[in-house]
Structure 1
Amino acid sequence: TDYGIEWWYFTGNLKNSSGSRFGYEFTLFRIGMPKPSNSRETQWQVENVYMGHIAVTDVANETFYSGERFSRDSIGLAGASSTEPDKFSVWLKDWVISGTGRDKPEIRLVADHENIEIDLSLKALKPLVLQGDNGYSRKGSEQSNASYYYSISKLDTSGTIRIKDKVYSVSGNSWMDREWSTSALSENQIGWDWFALQLNNNHELMYYQMLLSDLSADQMSEGIIINPAAETSPLSSDDVEIQNLDYWISPSGTSYPVKWSMKIPTYSTELTITALIPNQEMTTSIKYWEGAVHIEGIYLDKPTSGYGYVESTRSTNNNLSTR
């Protein structure tokens, strides 16, 4: 709890037995609260506020659902614990992330909001990888503009998704991010585009493009390539060229890219990334686009395809969720 914010983040692309596709996001955030100087210790004292986001994309019906909840950590309403070796739990009332194992954990996700519900079991197919410089991920020019960041880039996933009164048995792959920081964005940054791509050749790619006030890419943008043996290769802003090919204007009036070209010449890679549906804006207190995408193109000079997730923010009011 020495850091101002931390989060446990999951996204995945799943399908049912008839081939209908679904995407999901489930994230729990811990936000540290300043301690009053004259406070005394009680069970009611609030040291942290927890925030949760859930979303489900119903591709066949071109429908997106999202939800949010908050709670303080006092009297056990929300929290995070690791009381036994290799066992962990994060909860926000009855929204729960629980698991066993460290390097290649098995995890269960349970959450519901109005018309949607998820109950998913995840098993890591690759060990966790450290992002940035041995887990220290720079986001801006100042040394403090950074987070501690690791990922599990491929988790076998199965379980159920409920949409309204229909329950679907689903399977597929998920991605996990774990980050904590106190200050990540520079004053001249207004957001980011973050890509988590899972290719059908058992390679994964993460890249975040930090955006300056004129929407140009910050030189601090970076990422990694993860090969089938979970070995990583770093990507700098000099390696990656991203071009927005299409846009969608949300009901909130924000213009988000929904189709991208990603070129990585040093890896003989050229990918086209397309949103499975345009409308995947989180209608939460902090609005952002969090969407399932399809990938097609050339990777290491060979044809490839796959699925992934993209997160786009275009606001100066994104203090809570920072990449």
Structure 2
Amino acid sequence: MNVKALFIALCLPMSALAQGFAGLGTEADGFSVPQPDPQFSFPADHGAHNEYRIEWWYLTANLEAADGTPYGLQWTLFRSALAPEAGEGWTAPQLWMGHAAVTTPDQHFVAERLARGGIGQAGVTADPFEAWIDDWALTGDWTTLRMTASAPDFAYDMALTAQGPLIFHGEGGYSVKSAAGQASYYYSQPFFAIEGTLQLPEGDVAVTGNAWLDREWSSQPLAENQTGWDWFSLSFDDGNKMMGFRLQQTDGQNFTSATWITPDGQTTPYTNGALVATPLATNDMGVPVRWHVELPAEGVDVTVAAINENAWMATSVPYWEGPVTVTGSHEGIGYLEMTGYE
């Protein structure tokens, strides 16, 4: 059995993104559950939290070449636990999945890596920080990072420098996801400057831009009636930023949350109902690729549009992920992730 088949066989509960990685809408079954008023400790919390069922290190970047061509970049490492018990070697219950992608205005390159924990194929250490799966790696001290990934049809080598503080979503990093109270621990570094080289079929491309790194972990962040999410990370030309998500429910309603981020890193959290995200147009797969996004409390009334409508992540757990433009009350760029549409 190859590695991919083994991973899928061991992860059957996480095979449908409608419930998310590791069954995000199922019971926690002995795993730890996030609690209000978290007390984060760094650098330790940059590392893995094996007592929780699902966790990710999730980086997206808006890039531009010297000729003005826009590019998007993704590097993601997911950790999923089969059981709350510890183990060593092949008995370790940790499973790892890595996704890397490069998006151009007319192409979308995707690669996936799958691994078992405990045998050196993948993992995360906090100090010094290193997240890796096979030869893909994200390393550094969270002030500066180096990020690499490679696949048959693309590769990249990027340097990142933080130009602002960490941002904590929800109430001090406790991010509520449903009316029933499901939640995650969630913080970001949205102030990375990034530069490096994309290796594409047409040749190497030097790029610069900005990057957004999300850290999140939980054991049951979705309610049973939630089927997926639409997540926006928007960077406006005036220096403000906004994170917002819309969680889709089986009753046709949505649960929303947002964080307003000023240029100096001050935050304002917004609870359910403050953010409104309405699809305006879909691609050939029926996935929304143009949105009307409103956060009236901050005067936001914008259209968010995909740079490449076909940025579908055809991975073991499929979803849409790609760079976007922002027009309207605020101009800018950002990233959009959508699940539950497969």
Q: In structure 1, list runs of 5 or more residues that go unmatched.
A: 299-303, 318-323
Deviations 1:117-162 (A, max 9, x none): 111111111111111111111112333x211000111210000111
The structure showing larger relative contact order (alpha-carbon pairs under 8 Å, at least 6 residues apart) is: 2
CA contact (8 A) 2:90 2:116 kept: no
Which residue number corresponds to residue 215 of structure 2?
Answer: 178
Give 3-state SS (helix, strand or coil) of 1:44's partner: helix
2:320 equivalent among 267, 270, 289: 289
Q: Does 1:243 align with 2:284?
A: no
Q: Please, what TM-score do these two structures have when normalized by structure 2?
A: 0.82
CA contact (8 A) 1:154 1:198 kept: no
**Structure 1 residue 243: Cα displacement:** 1.6
Which residue number corresponds to residue 194 of structure 1?
Answer: 231
Counterpart Cα distance in 1 of 2:135 and 2:215 = 20
**Structure 1 residue 284: Cα displacement:** 0.3
Deviations 1:232-260 (A, max 9, x none): 0112233222221111133xxxx211111
Q: Please, what TM-score do these two structures have when normalized by structure 1?
A: 0.86
Counterpart Cα distance in 1 of 2:206 and 2:109 = 18
**Structure 1 residue 17: Cα displacement:** 1.1
Q: Does 1:118 align with 2:162?
A: no
Over 3 Å counting, the alpha-carbon distance change for 1:35 and 1:190 in structure 2 is: closer
Over 3 Å counting, the alpha-carbon distance change for 1:44 and 1:244 in structure 2 is: closer
Give 3-state SS (helix, strand or coil) of 2:184's partner: strand
Q: Does 1:142 align with 2:180?
A: yes
Which residue number corresponds to residue 7 of structure 1?
Answer: 56
Partner amino acid for 1:44? W
Partner amino acid for 1:235? Y
Give 3-state SS (helix, strand or coil) of 2:171's partner: coil
Give 3-state SS (helix, strand or coil) of 1:126's partner: coil
1:155 equivalent among 192, 203, 222: 192
**Structure 1 residue 229: Cα displacement:** 1.3
Q: In structure 2, list runs of 5 or more residues that go unmatched.
A: 1-49
Q: Kindly indicate which of the two structures has a greater share of residues assigned to strand.
A: 1
Counterpart Cα distance in 2 of 1:240 and 1:42 = 44
Partner amino acid for 1:240? L
Deviations 1:62-97 (A, max 9, x none): 111111110112231111112x4xx30011011111
1:63 equivalent among 94, 97, 107: 107
2:73 equivalent among 3, 21, 24: 24
Counterpart Cα distance in 2 of 1:34 and 1:200 = 45
CA RMSD of aligned residues (A): 1.7
* TM superposition outliers: structure 1 runs of 4+ over 3 Å: 41-44
CA contact (8 A) 2:232 2:335 kept: yes
Deviations 1:8-42 (A, max 9, x none): 00001101111111101110011112278xx9x65
Q: Does 1:130 align with 2:168?
A: yes
Give 3-state SS (helix, strand or coil) of 2:192's partner: strand
**Structure 1 residue 215: Cα displacement:** 4.0
How do 1:17-96 and structure 2 match up within 5 A? 17-34=66-83, 43-59=89-105, 62-82=106-126, 84=127, 87-96=128-137
